Chains A and B, each alone.
Chain A
Amino acid sequence: MAKRIDVKNLDIYYGGFHAVEDVSMTVEPRTVTAFIGPSGCGKSTLLRTLNRMHEVILGAHVKGSVQLDGTELYGQGVDPVAVRRVVGMVFQRPNPFPSMSIFDNVASGLRLNGVRNKQILADAVERSLLAANLWNEVKDRLGKAGVGLSGGQQQRLCIARAIAVEPQVLLMDEPCSALDPISTLAIEDLIGELKEQYTVVIVTHNMQQAARVSDQTAFFNLAAQGKPGRLIEMGSTEKIFSNPDQKATEDYITGRFG
């Protein structure tokens, strides 16, 4: 199921703007990797290149290589749509489809990819909502609108929607930044369970969250405003948070920067 990600000498551009410079890293399967760093350092941008989502923005392009279990994502003739079927994503703000019910939201990925069988859809919806720890809260109102749920429930709905298509990798872009502490805890517990099956990469501004949920941590920084972001250091979360090699990492984690 889960896949390994190899990033080699990746440069990311928005038109003429060089956003991320020369990143190389390996993300092991069935682990949680946290991207941390100040705003604008390119961690979300890098995350979005892992499923070619950054291309949605006009003029965005990359140089270098991203491989999923040895298969190049940026090779000739690679369909970004096919990549995204394997690498799912959860966004910063919960974004359930407003025109769809709870059931239809979770089933949307399968349905829009051509699955019609009602039994398969019903099973997938139940399995995904159970996995997202939302089933007990919504099982009696699956036909109601997804946007009627609370923020935390909506985000878990979006996670259920993302895992319903059974991706190999799950990317999460600050999934808890719009949620209260209790909902955040629910999502963090969920991430711990998800890594049994998926490779998870999470961008977060919350140091404690990175320390709590991740196995590996990557710290990004930028030399100055307008300069490209760089990967400063990557290692086991324990090492990064207790004894990092770089002073910049230590300064950022302990809150002594600038």
Chain B
Amino acid sequence: MTATTTDGQLSFRRPSGIRTIKNAFATVYVTIATVLAVIPLIWVLYTVITKGLRLILSSTWWLQSQRGITPRREGGGAYHAIVGTVEMALICAAIAVPLGIMAAIFLIEYAKGTKVARGVSFMVDILSGVPSIVAALFIYALFITILGLGRSAVAVSLALVLLMLPVVLRSTEEMLKLVPQELREASYALGVPKWKTILRVVIPTAFGGIMTGVMLGLARVMGETAPLLILVSYAVGINFSPTSDTMGALPTMINAGRDQAPQLPGYERVWAAALTLIIIVMVLNLLARAIARASKLKER
């Protein structure tokens, strides 16, 4: 397309006729698509907030468990479930984060372009597509059937590691790829060994992105329900021990109360638990952004 007509004369007129119609159609289409994509998100948030907000505003919600509370009784809180969710997620992160970051460093900085790297990357792709129930059953088979250990929160954490690892590994890989080769060479040119270059130049440069990946992984893992159902019993009381076979968690708290009649107080607690889970994930996200921003230098 040039701005000239057939006789070589310059023309700056707007396109007319069918072009204008096509343009209008595309504009309407992308606008509608955006609105349609956002509607369910807002709808879910609105429903959860309106139904769950009243309970989470009281301090009992954050400080008490559901021990001795029946669906017909008011009161109690989600403390036991928050403890369980956070604890299992932290144990999972403590295993998956170093493992994922180290593996990504190996794949990008040391084994790039080799058969090993391609093979491992392929496995990671498959692993990231594994449904959570398969991960849970794998750990059940390994932990309980083969090793003869009991159900426990640790077993849940291990199943969650299988789900979090590919997220952390893949996002760290992408971030390390984005670090320009020139920075590595600049460091080598100063007589800095490779391992120190990775530790002090490459990782700090990619830090913000790696943190984002870790938080995305945590967010995914916190909402998982299948490993909780299979590998630990839901407990209504407060329990800090990761090796005991019962532990509360927000997804299983929601699950345990989901068949309440809508007029009972227990029904409202299900919505409050859902809202609590959303808030925890959101706080983690904001925290990750704050850390990433704090680690970034002011330019001027």
Residues of chain A whose beta carbon lies under 8 Å from any beta carbon of chain B:
51, 53, 56, 58, 81-82, 84-86, 88-89, 91, 93, 95, 97-101, 108-109, 112-113, 141, 144-145, 147-148, 158, 161-162, 165
Query: How far, in angstroms, from A58 to B192 measured CA to CA in the complex?
Result: 19
A112 and B190 contact, CB distance less than 8 A? yes
Closest to B181 in A: A56
A148 and B299 contact, CB distance less than 8 A? yes
Q: Does B201 count as interface, using CB distance less than 8 angstroms?
A: yes
B188 to chain A, nearest CB (A): 6
A109 and B192 contact, CB distance less than 8 A? yes
A–B Cβ pairs within 8 angstroms, 20 of them: A56-B184, A84-B189, A85-B191, A86-B191, A88-B190, A97-B186, A97-B201, A98-B183, A98-B205, A98-B297, A99-B201, A99-B205, A108-B201, A109-B190, A112-B190, A112-B192, A112-B200, A113-B191, A161-B190, A165-B190
Q: Does B259 count as interface, using CB distance less than 8 angstroms?
A: no
Q: How large is the interface on B (under 10, 10 to 19, 20 to 34, 35 or more residues)?
A: 20 to 34
Q: What are the residues of chain A within 8 A of B196 when measuring CB–CB?
A: 112
Asked, given contacts A56-B188, A113-B191, A162-B190, whether A101 binds B180 with beta carbons under 8 Å apart, the answer is no
Query: How far, in angstroms, from A44 to B266 measured CA to CA in the complex?
Result: 73
Further contacts, 8 of them, CB under 8 A, given A53-B188, A84-B188: A91-B186, A97-B204, A98-B205, A99-B297, A101-B297, A112-B190, A112-B200, A147-B299
A81 and B297 contact, CB distance less than 8 A? no
Query: How far, in angstroms, from A99 to B180 measured CA to CA in the complex?
Result: 13
B190 and A84 contact, CB distance less than 8 A? yes
Q: What are the residues of chain A within 8 A of B184 when measuring CB–CB?
A: 56
Interface residues of B in 176-229 (CB under 8 A from A): 180-193, 196-197, 200-201, 204-205, 207
A145 and B182 contact, CB distance less than 8 A? no
Q: Does B298 count as interface, using CB distance less than 8 angstroms?
A: yes
Q: What are the residues of chain B within 8 A of A145 when measuring CB–CB?
A: 297-299
Closest to B192 in A: A112
Query: How far, in angstroms, from A145 to B297 measured CA to CA in the complex?
Result: 6
B291 to chain A, nearest CB (A): 14
Query: How far, in angstroms, from A88 to B187 measured CA to CA in the complex?
Result: 10
B183 and A97 contact, CB distance less than 8 A? yes
Query: How far, in angstroms, from A100 to B204 measured CA to CA in the complex?
Result: 9
Q: What are the residues of chain B within 8 A of A109 when measuring CB–CB?
A: 190-192
Query: How far, in angstroms, from A94 to B180 measured CA to CA in the complex?
Result: 12
Q: What are the residues of chain A within 8 A of B112 when measuring CB–CB?
A: 58
Q: What are the residues of chain A within 8 A of B298 when measuring CB–CB?
A: 144-145, 148
Q: Does B113 count as interface, using CB distance less than 8 angstroms?
A: yes
Q: What are the residues of chain A within 8 A of B200 when measuring CB–CB?
A: 108, 112
B187 and A99 contact, CB distance less than 8 A? no
Q: Does B300 count as interface, using CB distance less than 8 angstroms?
A: yes
A84 and B297 contact, CB distance less than 8 A? no
B277 to chain A, nearest CB (A): 34
Closest to A141 in B: B300
A53 to chain B, nearest CB (A): 6
Interface residues of B in 270-284 (CB under 8 A from A): none
Query: How far, in angstroms, from A141 to B13 measured CA to CA in the complex?
Result: 52
Most buried by A among B112, B180, B192: B192
Q: Which of B185, B188, B190, B207 contacts A108 (CB 8 A)?
A: B190
Query: How far, in angstroms, from A95 to B205 measured CA to CA in the complex?
Result: 12
A144 and B188 contact, CB distance less than 8 A? no
Closest to B182 in A: A95
A81 and B183 contact, CB distance less than 8 A? no
Q: What are the residues of chain A within 8 A of B187 when measuring CB–CB?
A: 97, 108, 112
Query: How far, in angstroms, from A113 to B145 measured CA to CA in the complex?
Result: 52
Query: How far, in angstroms, from A223 to B217 measured CA to CA in the complex?
Result: 55
Q: What are the residues of chain A within 8 A of B300 when measuring CB–CB?
A: 141, 144, 148
Asked, given contacts A99-B207, A147-B299, whether A113 binds B192 with beta carbons under 8 Å apart, the answer is yes
Query: How far, in angstroms, from A161 to B186 measured CA to CA in the complex?
Result: 9
B300 to chain A, nearest CB (A): 5
Query: How far, in angstroms, from A88 to B190 measured CA to CA in the complex?
Result: 6
B278 to chain A, nearest CB (A): 33
Closest to A82 in B: B191
A95 and B186 contact, CB distance less than 8 A? yes
Please give me the 4 A-B residue pairs with the lowest Cβ-Cβ distance, nearest first. A85-B191, A148-B299, A109-B190, A99-B204
Q: What are the residues of chain B within 8 A of A148 when measuring CB–CB?
A: 298-300
Query: How far, in angstroms, from A165 to B187 measured CA to CA in the complex?
Result: 12
Query: How far, in angstroms, from A81 to B196 measured CA to CA in the complex?
Result: 11
Closest to B197 in A: A112
Chain B 287-299 against A: per-residue CB contact (8 Å), 1 yes, 0 no? 0000000010111
Query: How far, in angstroms, from A51 to B113 measured CA to CA in the complex?
Result: 25
Closest to B199 in A: A112
Closest to B202 in A: A99
